[in-house]
Homo-oligomer: A and B are copies of this chain.
Amino acid sequence: MIIVLRPGTGEKEVKHVEQLVLAKGLKTHTVIGEGMTIIGCIGDTTSVDSRLFEVEPCVEKVMHVQEPYKLVNRAFHPEDSVIDVSGVKVGGNHLALIAGPCSVESEEQVIEIARAAKKSGANLLRGGAFKPRTSPYAFQGMGERGLEILCTARKETGLPIVTELMSLEHLELFDEKVDLIQIGARNMQNFDMLKHLGQTKRPILLKRGLNATYEEWIMAAEYIMAAGNENVILCERGIRTFESYTRNTLDLQAIPVIKSMTHLPIIIDPSHAGGKWWLVEPMAKAAVAAGADGLMIEVHNDPANALCDGAQSLKPEKYDALIQAITKIAPVVGKQV
C-alpha cells in the first residue's frame, strides 16, 4: 500500500501518518520526491482499510499494491484447479458442456432435452427450479417439484445436475441433491449466502454480477473459500454496459484475466449474455477459442412455448451442430471434448 501525500506536506504531518501506519502493524518506507512525498507501507495489508488514511487532510490518495485475495490467487497456487462435479472434471484441459432448459417445466420436457443434449456431447444438465425474476408477477419456477424432476432426469441420463440456489432455507436440500450449486449474478455479493456456502463441500458455480469488477468477483469466491469450501467454478454471463441492443455484453477477456489472477476454472454462459439465440453459436465458439473451461447453454425443445427465456434457447439440432464445431476448435487451444 502506498500513501501519496499532498504537495507541501510538512515533516510533522508525515510523521503523523507514519504513526497511523505503524499502529496497524505495518512498517513504513518514506520516499521524498520532487514536490511529492510518498509513504510505502510494508506488511500484510489484506485486512487494513486503506481508506482510513484518506481522512488525513495531507493525504492525496492511497494506492493498492498487493492483491486483497489469497486463497484464489494463482501466485500462491500456480497449477489450474480441477473441480470434480460428481465425476465430471471441470478445469485443466477438460471442457464442461452444461446444457438444458432455462426453467424446468415438466418431467417429459427435461428428460427429452437432457437425452438430446447428452447425445450431442453435453456432460452436465442445467435447469431452473427456483427462478430469479425482475417482476413479482412473472413465473417464479416450479420450486421443489422442479428439483425432483431434475433428479429424475439425472437418474435417466446419468448427467449430474446444476441449478440455482435462491434462498438459504434450501441450502441443506441442495447440498443433498444438487451436483453443482449455481449462485446467480444478483446474489454474487449476497455476503450472508456466500458465508453459508462454506458449510458444504458441494461445488459452487459462481456467476459474475452484472456490474462486478474482476476483483469483486474473485473476492466473492474468496468469501466461499475462506468459509471452507474450495470447490468454486466461476461463470461469466455478460456485464451491463451502455449497449442495450443485446441483453448484456459478453466479456471474453475475462477468460485470460481470471486465469491469470486465479487458479479457478471459468466457464461462459453465452445464452444469458446476449439474450438472443442467434448470438449463442458464434459466442460459444469464441469462448472455447479463448480458452474457456466450459459452456453453459440453454437448450429447449420448444422455445416458442418456453415459460422463460425461450428467445435465447437453442433447439437440440442447433446445439448438436454447435458442439460439432466446438469439437474442432477445442484441440487448437489444448482442450479435449
Contacts and interface: CB of A to CB of B under 8 A. Distances in A.
A128 to B, nearest CB: 13
Nearest to A185: B189
Interface string A38-81: 10101110110101101110000001011010000001000000
Interface in A235-277: 239-246, 249-253, 255-257, 260, 273-277
Interface in A181-228: 186-187, 189-192, 194-195, 210-211, 213-216, 219, 222-223, 226-227
Interface of A: 2, 4, 7, 20, 29, 31, 33-34, 36, 38, 40, 42-44, 46-47, 49, 51-52, 54-56, 63, 65-66, 68, 75, 132-139, 166-169, 186-187, 189-192, 194-195, 210-211, 213-216, 219, 222-223, 226-227, 239-246, 249-253, 255-257, 260, 273-279, 282-283, 285-291, 303-313, 325, 328-329, 332-333
B132 A245 contact: no
29 contacts: A2-B63, A31-B42, A34-B42, A49-B308, A52-B304, A52-B305, A52-B311, A55-B306, A63-B63, A134-B189, A136-B194, A166-B191, A167-B168, A210-B211, A211-B211, A213-B244, A239-B242, A241-B241, A242-B242, A249-B253, A250-B251, A252-B282, A252-B286, A253-B273, A285-B332, A286-B286, A289-B289, A289-B329, A325-B333
Contact of A252 (B245, B252, B332): B252
Given A36-B65, A138-B49, A282 B255 contact: yes
Contacts of A7: 75
Contact of A243 (B42, B251, B311): B251
Given A51-B312, A325-B333, 18 more contacts: A7-B75, A46-B137, A47-B135, A49-B307, A52-B305, A54-B276, A55-B306, A63-B65, A133-B191, A137-B226, A186-B189, A187-B190, A213-B245, A214-B243, A241-B242, A283-B290, A285-B333, A286-B290
Contacts of A227: 136
A260 B60 CA distance: 11
Contact of A49 (B139, B251, B333): B139
Contacts of A329: 289, 329, 332
Contacts of A240: 211, 242
Nearest to A300: B55
